[in-house]
Amino acid sequence: MRRIVCFGIVVCAGIGGLLAGFEDADANPLDTFGFGSRWVAMGGAATALADDTGAIYYNPAGVVQADRVHFTIGYFYADPSLKINNYNIGEDRTSGTIAGVITPPMKFSRFKFGGGAAIYIPDKRVARSLAIPYDQPTFVAYGARNQRMVAQFPFAFEIFPWLSVGGAISMFVKTGGGPNFLLRENRPGNEGLWSEGSISATQKGAFFPTAGLLVHPNKWLHIGFCYKAKNEILYKVPLKVTIEPLYVGAKIPLIGESYIDMDQHVYTFFAPEQFTFGVGLRLGGRTAIGADLTLARWSGFRQPAPEGATVYSGGIAAFIPPNPNYPLPPPDFSDIVIPALGVEYRAFSSSSWEVFVRAGYRFRPSPAPEPTGWNNFLDNDTHIFSFGLGVAMLRVEERLRVLRGPIVADVHFQYFLLEENETDKVHPVWDAYGDLRYGGRVVNSGLTLTLCF
Amino acid sequence: MGGAFCAVADDFTGGYYNPGGLLTTAKTRVGVGYFYSKLSLQQNGADIPLDRSHRDGAILGFAFTLPFLDALKDKIAFGYNLFQPIDYVMDISVPQPSTPQFVLLDSYTKANIMHIALAVDVYDGIAIGGGAHFTSDLGGSLDLKPGIRGMQGTNVIMTTVDQDAQPIIAPTAGAMLSPGRWYAPLERLTIGFVWRDRYYLDLNIPVTILLGSIPLRLDFTSKLVYTPRSYTLGAAYRFSEDLLVAAEVSYNEWSAFLAPSLKIATDIKIPLIPLELLPGVIEDPHFSDTWTPRVGFEYRGIRKEAYNLVFRGGYAYDPSPVPEQTGWSNFLDGNKHIFSTGVGVELKRVLGKDVSGASPALQTVLQYQWIQKTRHAKAPSVRSFNPGYPTITGEAESLFLGIAVTMEYGGT
């Protein structure tokens, strides 16, 4: 039965497009920056409104609202300027290509079914998993956490014309296993020999669901709900080294065969469990207003620094002290509530063109406690302002003949303002980094192009 | 059909076998399947224990023409295929270089493969396509310093793990010709050509271990799941509506093979003590290029009102690129004979309803691979504790079972 379930999950994860069969880093860059210029410009307040490829990320129940094939491709570039004690730490930028497709809904009796795929491909790498020591200052919401590929595969059903449900699956990869080394000394008698190594590692899929609900009580009111499961991967890095007897210039072995057995593990790829409730208003065909409220359960955040033990045995054990594992204390993050508000206004309309202006605001409180102790997990209350423009080309079939249209181009600009925090350490003398002042800003801009077939 | 599909490529797997074949039909093609394979490897007549003697996984894919209108209608097609093992995404097992191993056979099915393709109808009777395999490698570093730092009265290990996965994109290209468009007597003939670039996973991880205050540096690299660059030319002839015969030959550039064994660079410096560790090196495997012929047929032997039965068979001969193993390594892969057969059930009516518009079908396949026995004699310079000393033999066989559900609908 388990294999059947696994097979089903694998199939679901692949249907609709590209597999997220790639490794990921801490959390989800789309949680930070959003998906699609239209909805980013509206502050991400799209849970009740998204009816295009944006629905794949914001609320998969909206996928079935599209009445034809949508294809979206875009790019965004986010440049952080984060400072600790007035020093810019040179945090990595996040930039990459997004793409999404929605298939036209298929009808079974009175039910409608829709699907699609969305993907974010970073410029630099498929993924980066960076786990640094517990006491090294790090902004937990930025940096390596956003350096990863993301893919989602949604499906949605319209049960009644006023009620849709949907889901999506994303797949990460967890790695287990590691290398073994047999090291030999370069000495007389070892001619023709080398050191040797073997590796045995398995990457397994880890699946994380998203579920959504969309209700349309009437033409102008839309209500949405979206649940996103917690993401977290346990990454194990075992390593074994065998060192043959060492002669170090003598004629008899001075150090007997030695063994180093290291077992490191780290929890990574964390994204909090999220519950989002959204309301959308479409007023008079010209204005759309969205409002979202998200509960993000950061209390489930485990300390992300590597932990482990190293055991020395054999000859070298007499010279090197053991390194047992001392469990690191939990980071004690808190759950947060994130409000978001967005507005879209159709500023110009003709038989051939439409122009939209958009604006949005999101407030993301910090889930991190004040780092007065040994850990330095940093985060700030963050105000996120956004605005954007959209241009839709209508009557495409008459003009280009090869496409039904419309063709829509959207641009966005997003500004993150991190309120500066100041922390006094409990033990400022013993602490390697001392008292901290930290804050900064992030600027994100991008564009998307959507073709409707 | 023995894999002789480059000049056919008309189902949901078309984008993989020949990107140019995506436009063979304007119908949307969808398929999902399951496979099971079992390996049996022998060294000197005794079984080699395997971590995974059997593997299974899912295969799925689709192909469709993009819904453009007018001049671009049915002129551009897209295809996607995924091969996904059930239990893992990637299974890496690289033994020590001297360990007897079937380096080619055992690499099979160890990693998921995603392939996308796009085809364009460039001229009446000529379609060309391009595609790519996508996967990722592993890089970064394991800065495993068991550094001891005082924290609240205890000593705590401080480690940095920085792993970087870079994308690997291996391009493919293909062309499908239908000469009957220009010369009517050849209307039953199709010709296909496919080029696939080589690819492999590049493992490159430096490790630093702190022994007290002495750093031991181990940089290890490996090239995994090597797949050679290949060129395939094939032809298919439809003798009747019910009988299709296909043949093709591939040229495989195995001479560029990179052995997966770990290459290790060691570095340790201890003041006043003359300790030097040996590196781990890899012998050049000296593989040879090979030619692989394949033949296959498809015969719609039974036609009933509710269903058709389609019978398929094929054979391929895949010569081994591995030279005699006279040195440190013990790669035992031999010449491979691949026999395959299958049955397809094409449904036309289900529960009295006409379903021919969706063309649902159930496809099955059984494949047997026989790897001929090889014998290798070591050179005198090889030390006696090499597992292949003084001689070693290898033999293997593999069984592959598969089932898939396919549909075709829409189009013209």
Residue of B nearest to A129 (CA): B163
* C-alpha span between B216 and B210 (Å, rounded): 6
In SS3 terms, B321-336 reads as CCCCCCCCCCECCCCE
Question: What are the residues whose beta carbons fall under 8 Å from the beta carbon of B294, sequence distance 6 or more?
Answer: B2, B3, B4, B234, B247, B248, B249, B250, B314, B315, B316
Q: DSSP for B243-264?
A: EEEEEEEEEE-GGG----SPEE
Supply the pLDDT for residue A8.
Answer: 47
Supply the pLDDT for residue A17.
Answer: 35
Supply the pLDDT for residue B271.
Answer: 72
Per-residue pLDDT of chain B (412 residues; tens, 9 = 90+): 999 999 998 888 888 899 998 888 888 888 999 999 988 888 888 888 777 778 888 888 888 888 888 888 888 998 888 888 887 777 777 787 788 888 888 765 577 788 889 999 998 889 999 999 887 666 555 665 545 444 444 455 566 667 677 777 889 999 999 999 899 999 999 999 999 999 888 777 777 777 767 778 888 888 888 889 999 999 999 999 999 999 999 999 999 988 887 888 888 877 777 788 888 877 788 999 999 999 999 999 999 989 999 999 999 999 999 999 988 888 999 999 999 999 999 998 888 888 878 889 999 999 999 999 999 998 888 888 888 889 999 999 999 999 999 988 876 5
Residue of A nearest to B265 (CA): A195
State which residues of chain A have pLDDT below 70. 1-27, 173-175, 321-326, 428-432
Cβ neighbourhood burial of A280 (10 Å; 0-12, 13-18, 19+): buried
Supply the pLDDT for residue A333.
Answer: 94
Supply the pLDDT for residue A325.
Answer: 62
State whether A131 and B161 contact (CB < 8 Å): yes
* C-alpha span between A13 and B191 (Å, rounded): 35
User: Which of B71, B29, B119, B11 has the alpha carbon at shortest distance from B411?
Assistant: B29
State whether A403 and B69 contact (CB < 8 Å): yes
Q: Which two tokens stand for residue A86?
A: 């007035």
Supply the pLDDT for residue B249.
Answer: 97
Is residue B359 within 8 Å of B129, Cβ to Cβ? no
* C-alpha span between A451 and A325 (Å, rounded): 55
Question: Which residue of B54, B120, B157 is the best one to mutate when testing the A interface, meaning the one whose CB has the most A CBs within 10 A?
Answer: B157
Question: Which residue of B151, B203, B225, B273 is the best one to mutate when testing the A interface, meaning the one whose CB has the most A CBs within 10 A?
Answer: B151
Neighbours of A341 (CB within 10 A): 18
What does pTM read for this prediction?
A: 0.80
Q: Are strands A106-108 and B189-196 parallel, antiparallel or unpaired?
A: unpaired
The 10 Å CB-count burial string (b at 16+, else e) for B189-226 is bbbbbbebbbbbbbbbbbbbbbbeebebebbbbbbbbb
* C-alpha span between B350 and A42 (Å, rounded): 49
Domains with residue ranges and CATH for chain A: 2-452 (2.40.160.60)
Is residue B158 within 8 Å of B140, Cβ to Cβ? no
Selected residues 37-66 of chain B with any CB under 8 Å from a CB in chain A: 51, 56-58, 60, 66
